[in-house]
Amino acid sequence: MRRDIYLFSNGRLMRKDNTLYIVSEDGIKRAVPVEQVENVHLFGQIDLNSALFNFSGQKEVMLHFYNYYGFYTGSFYPREHSVSGIVTVKQSDHYLRKEKRLFLAKCFVQSASFHMLRTCRKRGIHGYESVQIITELSKNIRDAKDVQQTMGIEGMIRQHYYRALNELIPEEFTFAERTKRPPRDPFNALISFGNTMMYTSVLSEIYKTQLNPTISYLHEPSQKRFSLCLDLAEIFKPLLVDPLLITLVNKKKITSKHFENHDGMVYLNEMGRKIVIAAFDERLQQTIRHRKLKRNVSYWYLIRLECYKLIKHVIGDTPYIPLKAWW
């Protein structure tokens, strides 16, 4: 069972004795079993050298970097170990052909809105006006003529969804609108941070498959990011991240003291990030019984299954049916 480690303290991460060592500022060395590490998330100020990069490349450990405010900077993405020309070619083909791309884009939005409604239903606010609007809007997805329209509907759904979420969180967290780059209030900061963690998790799962993370369908591939992660994350954000955040604020695990405000730019402090990550990590390891596979699979693995389904779709094996949580 490989897992992620999160470095918050400052210090040095190095290769020694063919494993990873973390040397803290006060000189305490700790060995980390490299065979058990999947991703390393670096939040603090950490020194690294090329020997470490070579080593983590060899061991296929991804390094994800975040800046001082906890925003995603980038990843060290080791040499692709599973490449398949066929998949890349077919994946591009599905992007280039309008109707094929539209089909996939719609799939992502449909699944996303399904999960948004699911979250609202589970929390007992399905009767609210904004939720009703989402239900109406999600029926329109099928009729969208192109990807821009699909994106438009998705945007509207999201607006109403965030309005509905306001009903579920304590008053101190209510927010008027979704603001990002930078988030302007605590709950926006939470959403941004949760989404960041989701993107990197999806990226590390895509990395294990033959998919090319830069070719996307709903988002434009020219977004200077691994945009396929954004596509797939759409499915998982309302399923994993949002319920988690609602629970955290309602159980008062996250309170106003976990935020810092810098000239209207709000972000989580170290303690807050740790709480969110611990909860997120735990959630990803939770398992549910898979209907078709007839065994328990974790949320981590569900992300990977989504990638496999996408591969099967693009190579023309089985048509893609997006995940719709059945539990």
Partner 1 sequence: MYVIITYDVNERRVGKICKKLKAHLTWTQNSVFEGEVTKGPFLKCRQEVESIININEDSIYYYIVENPKHIRKEIIGEEKGQFDCFF
Which stretch in 3-11, 85-93, 99-107, 157-165 sits in contact with partner 1 by CB under 8 A? Answer: 3-11
Q: Among residues 175, 173, 143, which one has the least CA distance to residue 159?
A: 175
**What span, in angstroms and rounded, lies between the C-alpha atoms of 14 and 18?**
10
Q: Does 26 bind partner 1 (CB under 8 A)?
A: no
| Residue with tokens 């390891």, as numbered in its chain | 285
Decide whether 173 or 193 has the Cβ nearer to partner 1. 193
The encoded tokens of residue 143 equal 């009729």
Decide whether 24 or 140 has the Cβ nearer to partner 1. 24
Q: Among residues 242, 301, 216, which one has the least CA distance to residue 2?
A: 301
Q: Does 35 bind partner 1 (CB under 8 A)?
A: yes
CB 267 within 8 A of CB 182: yes
Which of 17, 26, 129, 143 lies at the binding interface for partner 1 (CB under 8 A)?
A: 17
Which of 25, 29, 36, 264 lies at the binding interface for partner 1 (CB under 8 A)?
A: 36
Q: Does 32 bind partner 1 (CB under 8 A)?
A: yes
Which of 19, 88, 159, 179 lies at the binding interface for partner 1 (CB under 8 A)?
A: 19
The H or E element that residue 198 is part of is helix 186-207
Give the shortest CB-92-to-partner 1 separation in angstroms.
34
Which of 12, 14, 22, 242 lies at the binding interface for partner 1 (CB under 8 A)?
A: 22
Specify the amino acid at residue 19.
T
**What span, in angstroms and rounded, lies between the C-alpha atoms of 167 and 163?**
7
Decide whether 83 or 271 has the Cβ nearer to partner 1. 271
Q: Does 7 bind partner 1 (CB under 8 A)?
A: yes
Q: How many CA within 13 A on the CB side of residue 280?
A: 25
For residue 151, report the phi and psi dihedrals to the nearest 5 degrees.
-60, -40
Q: Which of positions 262-301 make contact with partner 1 (CB under 8 A)?
A: 274, 277-278, 281
CB 322 within 8 A of CB 107: yes
Assign 3-state DSSP to the chain and report helix, strand, coil percentages, each to 5: 50, 15, 30
182 cis-preceded (ω within 30 degrees of 0): yes
**What span, in angstroms and rounded, lies between the C-alpha atoms of 68 and 251?**
27
Site string for partner 1, 120-159 (x = CB under 8 A): ----------------------------------------
Which of 4, 154, 234, 242 lies at the binding interface for partner 1 (CB under 8 A)?
A: 4
CA 205 to chain centre: 10
Strands (E) across the chain are located at 3-7, 11-16, 19-24, 29-32, 37-42, 46-47, 62-66, 72-76, 259-262, 265-268, 287-289, 296-298
Give the shortest CB-3-to-partner 1 separation in angstroms.
6
Which stretch in 17-25, 77-85, 86-94, 181-189 sits in contact with partner 1 by CB under 8 A? Answer: 17-25
Give the shortest CB-274-to-partner 1 separation in angstroms.
6
Give the shortest CB-302-to-partner 1 separation in angstroms.
18
Give the shortest CB-79-to-partner 1 separation in angstroms.
20
The three-class DSSP label of residue 22 is strand
Decide whether 9 or 179 has the Cβ nearer to partner 1. 9
Contact residues toward partner 1 (CB under 8 A) are: 1, 3-9, 17-19, 22, 24, 30-36, 274, 277-278, 281
